[in-house]
Structure 1
Amino acid sequence: MTIQQEAQALAPELTVLRHTLHTRPEIGLDLPRTQAEVVQALSGLPLDVSLGKRATSVTAVLRGSAPQPSGARPAVLLRADMDAVPVQEETGLAYASRSAGVAHACGHDLHTAMLIGAARLLAARRAELHGDVVLMFQPGEEGWEGARTMIEEGVLDAAGRRVQAAYALHVFSNMAQGFFTRPGAMLASSSALLVTVRGEGGHASEPHRARDPITVAAEMVLALQTMITRRFDVFEPVVLTVGSLHAGTRRNVVPATAVFEATVRTLSDSVAEQVGQSALRLLHGIADAHGTRVDARFVRERPVTWNEPGETAFVDATIREVFGEDLHRPLAHPFLGAEDFSRVLAEVPGAMIALGALPTGADPAHAPFNHSGRALFDDAVLPLGAALYAELALRRTRAAQPPSLDTARVPYPSPTPPPEARP
């Protein structure tokens, strides 16, 4: 059987595992139940398994037995994130989350099941594997810097030498079934804007005797949106969204402080720095104008998730050959979401691939997106992801040298961003 056929045969087992993980989601770097499920699912396979010290990560190394003609044995890394998000699930599924306020609303349970499937497919083909494969089961992707923690603990060198390439899949609940790729920037960098406006409290009936931080914060929020549209080129993507704003205790009390937080997404480090400088200048100016003070910090978080063009071309060719042209879909523009797989790709070449997991019959225009409590992901993509992971590892370890850049057959609708966008 082909790898794709064997992956389809594993589908029922992978579905059960995914549902088990889905019912018991965990957040952050401490995922003891998830870690235990992964270790159990890997048991019996010819793997060198190690557990993280600062997080409940799992690293498994599969050593191929096929000879490498060049003499050099490459190592390839495959990543799956395992953590959930702080969202109340509202899907009504029979296997919905049993933990209040926590759900696998970003599809990481699918990623984990897919990589387990790939481990089984590859273990059965050790005689065909011309190098080693590092399986990276990562906690803490959702803002907890799990990738950085695993890198610091040596995941990139788990095979005894630095991996030559790294690949990851990410499912999307509103994209039709298929693999979406692009060279260059795949996802944006992320930064945080953290603001506390300090006024003077008082009685709401006499606001002139106070220094109302709420109205100042409201002006700041609107001014930040105007700043983005008037200070940055419309062809240079920048998103600034205030996602949290808190102030006050009672409607008849002017509070002393107002606090808000914003996320900033860009495709360039230099633009991110410009946003930070402009925002801080703007906030201090508004605070001064109203006789208040502001404590504001701009914090750089994750870099751009950068798909190395040669590795992306290799991924494209693999998808087309294994799954056919219909399932390979060039992506016109990057996603403005951020991913800490960017930490891995800043160290070694590789690519992140988007996998559409829209349920059959659903309308992509109205399907709830990732992180929604109503987001749904189709189990039918589990064998697709497992098969692609396995095929990438098998094919990439056959050659000690990186794949050549050949995108002639890939009609990407937009050019790759300039090298400056790379972290």
Structure 2
Amino acid sequence: MNLQEVKEILELMSSGNCTKQQEDTFMEWLSGADKSEFLTVLNWWEEMLEQRNDHGNADAGLISRIEDGLNHIETPVIPFQVKKQEPQRGNFKVVLAIAASLFMVLSAALFFYYTKSNTPVYNQISRSQILNDIKPGGNKAVLTLSDGTKVDLNNVHAGGVVANQSGIRIVKNRDGQLIYNIISNNEPNTAGLYNTIQTPLGGQYQVNLPDGSKVWLNAASSLRYPVNFDSDERRVELKGEGYFEVAKDKEKPFRVQTKNQVVEVLGTHFNINSYEEEDHTKTSLLEGSVRIRSLINKRTIVLVPGQQALLNDYTINVKEVDVNEVASWKDGYFVFNNESAATVMRKIARWYNLEVIYENNIGNIDFAGSVARYQNVSEIIKTLELTGLVHFKLEGRKLTVIAN
């Protein structure tokens, strides 16, 4: 059977008109498909479902048989449940997201996994001990005003005024975003006035800065910024992780300062991960252009879209990445791209406010895959457990990771 014939059967599957004989023929072809053919079929399937806007016609038994037929693929495929109404992810496509619509159709995604040697692991799955469950993080933050007053934004109702400062009104809009508006007829006297917004473990928040720039803060992060950009630059200070959509202003460059670098832009979209516990500060560019200057070795580089700069105390390197995957956290997803188990667990710990400890050696384990952030932690750890590489014990907010 050639690919055109496979495509015709997929059309019948998507409409619910596939016969048992056609299903069997497809399964037989699938058992001998190589990786290139497999990915081609996944792309076709996604396109068909998008055109039909109907994910409900595929038979559950057929889905199960398709999964069973995938064991020969170089990287094993593990299905897992995700939230049925997923946030929009922008325009990027990862293989696991494409495969989601094929294998669980109504409410699933895929999880690929590797060890350091890229050798599939088929250990018997151990059942995790979940003595309680923990809900995902959400919009939580504290705003510190220029006079030191702290405002818990969770206690401000949507549409309410957070504060008034020297002709600047700060409001929390109905979408839960923080907005700065100039309300004085005269030029506000805001020189030297700074605000800081800080998210806790298990929190995130979006703030619209006085110049119209938008910043999304990930968990355990903070942003310090002037109440009004009234100097010849727009400078903010970031700790943790933030995604920036900078308003264009050729007269006032926008600069983001972290512990060890300054990123300068005129108007662009980029993501900075600068958690102190990570080995590198990672700056990923989605649109426009940015200039990065190391505060340690004074080296300067310029990124173009699709590039990521990795900076530590001694070096700065650039590599090509899928930057949409890097910024997927703000759209409600964890995306792991061949990341160490320790790195993966730090991301999970920040979002669910967990203390993570380890038993046995996890140093040779890498994960790659995608899972929705808006589900209880039990669903996340059950997914990771399906790899056969690890199992877990959750007691209170202490999560023990045990290598199999």
TM-score, normalised via structure 1 length = 0.23
Higher-helix-fraction structure: 1
TM-score, normalised via structure 2 length = 0.24
